[in-house]
A and B are shown apart, each in its own frame.
Chain A
């Protein structure tokens, strides 16, 4: 990433301790370690999570500290581990299920959608499913159509599920703690390309509540609402726009469900223009929902239609020349923002 990471500007930081620089991958790992230490009912299950520490090496070292009873290598059985996670969550454990690539949630969808999401409601509020499913999103790794999708819209659509999309090490840590301590099933998406992204995190324990958006950069002329992998793109675009004397505000919802509608709407009301940027397929995607929320809530303040930039509606192609066409870029955001601001 070309732009430096920006420390969350509005989140309240508990404690008075020191800040340290870590990568997003390290932030995830240390959060998991802290929660495994804090709560003996937490365990991790997934493919190659133990000695291998996942293909992204995000879990390296956990099995050494917590042992194979709590960091459990599973068979290649996404439906099975997700279903087992639901049942274990209903009966006293706090499972963290690792689905290596977001694309593979397809194999686990019944367990997630028809089981995990509905148990609490169907039982009239009696049963709880404190389950976390950690998975990944993001293209441009040259891994083609079955390893590159950003499918967080699928689960954002389902009542009963919560969905977190961290974009900085600080957010990753605070949101993952909340996810693990939440009594509902949470699907937690990590951008594969962002594991090396660096940022500051406090030494002290802290959580970030779900449903609280974060203004990653303040501005006055246009709102760029961006999620996960697209936050850095929006920040880079905001830099480019600043050169042109356009002041862009970058807002990261951080969770799609629950959604902080107020912050999104307030920002658009202030700037009078908004673009929503998300790496999921554009059609029927997260951008559609967020744009509708803004259009509805800020209608009388808007000087331009709310615009959307999502992944192109095609299976992610392998060839780099094609793949690079499919994901929003800072240049595309800048171009669209200029147009909305009447600066062609």
Chain B
């Protein structure tokens, strides 16, 4: 199923030029992916030490999808996200501090503690919200694309969802409309092989890509562990959508390194340790980009190490901020029911 494809065929000189030109962007991608990884490891630690209320669905292993796609977006472009949404929020520019505050139910959190892990929204970065209903944001993202077209703002909407959302009918209703009306939207299906604790081979018949193609939506399947490829493909589909040439569908093959949520520890009954080890050892998007940066002499090991420790420090500072932040006033419970 996973097909690896170079962004484009290039001559040696062209490639060298591209590497130089892209160096800054790929170094940033490396930093952003590490930021997400360390953020998620910290969340897991908060859970294991019983310092976080509820559960969280970790994005570790899937970082290249969020980072590659969001690098192809303008700051004012919209995204909608899922229950596994921390990576999307961070990639679109959310602050680590306020994310941790939200996960801990604190007042400075993005939603004043009302949303928690599964509902982070951040208008300033175009994030219309994570969603705890599988497929729940398909309509919202399509509506945002509709606004953009009506208002002529040139914004594109990206709808992130998991392979499990292919089971939801609303997705097909809105993809049909998006194609009919050439809405500026990119549907990004993060195929991590599982719907919770069930392999998608047991839940999903036929071709995933053909679902979009049936609506005449420009669809591409890619290796979601290669951030450069994710970026290049998303860039093409986003710009196409922005021009008014209609929606795109990006099927990114990826893998979650942890359980479905932080409490999903015993999982050998639905996926093997070997499979997990393979993806972690061979298909880690951060390692893949790191190796490329070294091979192409964009960075040396010391530089990468520095980025790593800086990202770790940001996360450590962020969690401290969240832990020390106050809870909201109890009176807030009845605020914001109506606008």
Please give, as numbers and ranges, the residues of chain A lying within 8 Å of B112 by CB-CB distance.
319
Please give, as numbers and ranges, the residues of chain A lying within 8 Å of B269 by CB-CB distance.
51-52
Asked whether any CB of chain A lies closer than 8 Å to the CB of B90, the reply is: no
Contact status A322-B113, CB under 8 Å = yes
| B197, chain A: closest CB distance, angstroms | 4
Binds B, one of A187-195, A233-241, A308-316: A308-316
- Given A144-B119, A318-B113, A321-B330; A76-B135 close (CB under 8 Å): yes
> In the bound complex, what is the Cα–Cα distance between A8 and B54 (angstroms)?
33
> In the bound complex, what is the Cα–Cα distance between A73 and B196 (angstroms)?
11
Please give, as numbers and ranges, the residues of chain B lying within 8 Å of A48 by CB-CB distance.
195-198
- Given A73-B202, A75-B195, A76-B168; A318-B105 close (CB under 8 Å): yes
Asked whether any CB of chain A lies closer than 8 Å to the CB of B152, the reply is: no
> In the bound complex, what is the Cα–Cα distance between A142 and B103 (angstroms)?
11
Please give, as numbers and ranges, the residues of chain B lying within 8 Å of A104 by CB-CB distance.
133
A319 contact from B116, B132, B135, B169, Cβ within 8 A: B116
Contact status A74-B116, CB under 8 Å = no
Contact status B196-A318, CB under 8 Å = no
> In the bound complex, what is the Cα–Cα distance between A260 and B195 (angstroms)?
41
Please give, as numbers and ranges, the residues of chain B lying within 8 Å of A304 by CB-CB distance.
none
> In the bound complex, what is the Cα–Cα distance between A306 and B98 (angstroms)?
45
Contact status B119-A318, CB under 8 Å = yes
Q: Which residue of A lies closest to B269 (CB)?
A: A51
> In the bound complex, what is the Cα–Cα distance between A145 and B132 (angstroms)?
9
Please give, as numbers and ranges, the residues of chain A lying within 8 Å of B197 by CB-CB distance.
48, 51-52
Please give, as numbers and ranges, the residues of chain A lying within 8 Å of B328 by CB-CB distance.
319, 321-322
Contact status B114-A319, CB under 8 Å = yes
Please give, as numbers and ranges, the residues of chain B lying within 8 Å of A143 by CB-CB distance.
54-55, 116, 118, 132
In chain B between 75 and 127, which residues have their CB closer than 8 angstroms to a CB of chain A?
105-106, 111-119
Please give, as numbers and ranges, the residues of chain A lying within 8 Å of B165 by CB-CB distance.
76
Asked whether any CB of chain A lies closer than 8 Å to the CB of B324, the reply is: no
Contact status A320-B169, CB under 8 Å = no
Contact status A73-B203, CB under 8 Å = yes
| B264, chain A: closest CB distance, angstroms | 9
> In the bound complex, what is the Cα–Cα distance between A142 and B118 (angstroms)?
11
> In the bound complex, what is the Cα–Cα distance between A232 and B106 (angstroms)?
30
> In the bound complex, what is the Cα–Cα distance between A321 and B333 (angstroms)?
9
A-B contact count (CB 8 A): 125
Please give, as numbers and ranges, the residues of chain B lying within 8 Å of A79 by CB-CB distance.
169
Q: How large is the interface on B (under 10, 10 to 19, 20 to 34, 35 or more residues)?
A: 35 or more
> In the bound complex, what is the Cα–Cα distance between A48 and B198 (angstroms)?
6
> In the bound complex, what is the Cα–Cα distance between A318 and B115 (angstroms)?
5
- Given A144-B116, A146-B132, A321-B330; A76-B105 close (CB under 8 Å): no
| A98, chain B: closest CB distance, angstroms | 13
- Given A55-B196, A320-B105, A321-B330; A144-B169 close (CB under 8 Å): no
A76 contact from B53, B55, B113, B134, Cβ within 8 A: B134
> In the bound complex, what is the Cα–Cα distance between A79 and B328 (angstroms)?
37
Residue of B167, B330, B332 with most partner-chain A CB within 10 A: B167
Asked whether any CB of chain B lies closer than 8 Å to the CB of A138, the reply is: no
Asked whether any CB of chain A lies closer than 8 Å to the CB of B14, the reply is: no
Contact status B327-A141, CB under 8 Å = no
Asked whether any CB of chain B lies closer than 8 Å to the CB of A339, the reply is: no
B54 contact from A52, A141, A315, Cβ within 8 A: A141
- Given A145-B119, A147-B132; A76-B54 close (CB under 8 Å): no
Asked whether any CB of chain A lies closer than 8 Å to the CB of B337, the reply is: yes
Contact status B198-A80, CB under 8 Å = no
Please give, as numbers and ranges, the residues of chain B lying within 8 Å of A326 by CB-CB distance.
333
Asked whether any CB of chain A lies closer than 8 Å to the CB of B164, the reply is: yes
| B35, chain A: closest CB distance, angstroms | 23
> In the bound complex, what is the Cα–Cα distance between A214 and B270 (angstroms)?
42
| A65, chain B: closest CB distance, angstroms | 16
Asked whether any CB of chain A lies closer than 8 Å to the CB of B10, the reply is: no
Please give, as numbers and ranges, the residues of chain B lying within 8 Å of A313 by CB-CB distance.
337
Q: Which residue of A lies closest to B167 (CB)?
A: A75
Asked whether any CB of chain B lies closer than 8 Å to the CB of A325, the reply is: yes
> In the bound complex, what is the Cα–Cα distance between A320 and B116 (angstroms)?
10
Asked whether any CB of chain A lies closer than 8 Å to the CB of B247, the reply is: no
Q: Which chain A residues have a beta carbon within 8 Å of chain B's beta carbons?
A: 47-48, 50-52, 55, 73-77, 79-80, 103-104, 107, 141-147, 312-315, 317-322, 325-326
Excluding A75-B204, A144-B132, A318-B117, 8 further A-B contacts by CB distance (< 8 Å) are A76-B134, A76-B135, A77-B167, A107-B168, A146-B131, A314-B333, A321-B328, A326-B333
10 examples of A-B residue contacts, CB within 8 angstroms: A47-B196, A48-B197, A51-B269, A76-B165, A143-B132, A144-B116, A145-B115, A313-B337, A318-B113, A319-B113
